[in-house]
Structure 1
Amino acid sequence: MDSLIIGAICFIGLIIFKSPYALLISIIVGITNMIPYFGSFIGMIPPFIINLFYDPKRAVWVVIFLVLLQQFDACFLEPKLVGDKVGLSPFLIILGITVGGSLFGVWGMILASPIMAV
C-alpha cells in the first residue's frame, strides 16, 4: 500500500515537472520503494539519468522532489500505515524502530513494531 501511494504521488509530481516517461519512472520508484533502506536511493537513479538527457535543471529538481517524497514516506506515511495496522501511534513506531535499530541492527528494526505492540 505504501509503495502504491508513493508511486501515485511520484506520478503526479513528475507530470507537474513535465518529466518524460513519468508513468514508467513512477512504477520504478514504487517498486524500488519496497526494498528496505537502499530502495529509495536506487529508485532515484533512473529518473535522474532519464531527465539528465532532456534537461539537466529538471533532473536536479526531480531528484530534489524524490528526496522530499522519500522523507515524507519515511517520516509520516509509513509510521501512519504501520501504526494503524498494529494500533500504535506514529511516535511509538518511530521510537521503536530507532531503539530497535540501534540495539539490534536490521533485526531490531524489523521486529520493533510487533514488540512495541505487545
Structure 2
Amino acid sequence: MVAILSRSVGGYMRGMVVTSICGGFLAFIGFMFIGHPYAALMAIFTGIMHLVPVVGPWVSAAIATVLGFMFSPMLALWTLVVTMVAQNVTDNVISPKVMQSSVQVHPIMSLTALVIGSALMGPIGMIIAIPLCAALKGIFVYYFENETGRQLVAYDGAVFKGTPYRDTEGNPVAAYDALGDDTFIYESELIGNETAPEAQAMPKPELDNPWIKLSGLQPDATGFFKNPFAKDDDTSSDDDTKTGIDGSMDDSDSK
C-alpha cells in the first residue's frame, strides 16, 4: 500500500516537472516570436508558476502581460495570446500524455479526476486529484488480481493499460501490475528486496501497421519491403513454361 502511494505521488511530481519545462519552452518560443523584451525571464517564470495549479498560470500570464504593456498595448495583447495558447497546449495536450506515462493513468481518467477534484475541493482537489486517482487505480488492480487471480493490466487496455507481469508459473503478479514498474520495489527501501516476487514482463505484441497494408508493401524475410509491381521469379518461369507448351502445340497443329 505504501509503495503504491509513493509510486503515484513520485510519478505525479516527475510529470509536473516535465510539463512545467514543456510549458516554459513553449512560452519562450512564443515570446521570442512576438519580440517580448523579457522572453527568457518570463518563460522561466511561466514554467515555475505552472507547478502551482490553477493560480500559477494566471499569475505568470498577468505579469508577462503587464510587462508587455509597458512597451506597447499591442505587445501586451500578443503576450496574453501567447500565454493562453502555451497554457492550453500544455494542459490539454502535453500534460495528459505525460501523466499517462508517469503515473500510469489514462488521460480520460486524469481529466475526470481533475474535474471531480475541482468540484469537490477546489484548487486543493485539483492538486491531489491525479495522484489520488493513480493510487486508487493501483490499489484496485492489486486487490482485484490477488482475489481473482486474473490479470487486469494489458498492453491494449483502455483504462488499465500497462505492462503485465507474470511469475515463473504464469500467474499474474499483482504488486508489479499495481505499481506499473518492476524496478520500483528494488530501487526503493519501502519493501525488502528479499520479499520482492520474481516476475517477468510479458512480451509486447507486434501491432500491424495499417499504412503498410494500404500501400501494399510488406516486408520479406530479410526485413526489406517487397515491390508489389515486380513479378516473382516463379511467376515468370511459369509464364515461360506455359508459352513454350503453347508454342509446341501450335507447331504440331501447323504440321
TM-score range relative to shorter protein: 0.7 to 0.9
Distance 1:3 1:90, change over 3 A: same
Q: In structure 1, what is the equivalent of residue 111 of structure 2?
A: 94
Alignment of 1:54-93 (within 5 A): 54-93=71-110
Scaled by the length of structure 1, the TM-score of the pair is 0.86
Which of 33, 41, 60 is equivalent to 1:16?
33
Alignment of 1:44-59 (within 5 A): 44-59=61-76
Residue 90 of structure 1: how far off its partner (Å): 0.8
Higher RCO (Cα < 8 Å, 6 or more apart): 1
- Alignment RMSD: 1.8
Distance 1:113 1:35, change over 3 A: closer
Structure 1 distance, partners of 2:101, 2:31, is 29
Q: Which runs of 4+ in 1 moved over 6 A?
A: none
Across the two proteins, how many residue pairs are aligned to each other?
118
Identity in percent: 26
Residue 78 of structure 1: how far off its partner (Å): 1.6
Q: In structure 2, what is the equivalent of residue 3 of structure 1?
A: 20
Scaled by the length of structure 2, the TM-score of the pair is 0.43
Structure 2 distance, partners of 1:90, 1:116, is 11
Residue 107 of structure 1: how far off its partner (Å): 4.8
Query: Would you say the 8 A contact 2:19–2:95 is kept in 1?
Result: yes
Q: In structure 1, what is the equivalent of residue 57 of structure 2?
A: 40
Structure 2 residue runs of 5 or longer lacking an equivalent are 1-17, 138-255
Structure 2 distance, partners of 1:116, 1:101, is 13
Output the amino acid matched with 1:25: M
Structure 2 distance, partners of 1:83, 1:89, is 5
Alignment of 1:96-111 (within 5 A): 96-111=113-128
Distance 1:65 1:99, change over 3 A: same
Larger Rg: 2
Does residue 28 of structure 1 match 2:45? yes
Structure 1 residue runs of 5 or longer lacking an equivalent are none
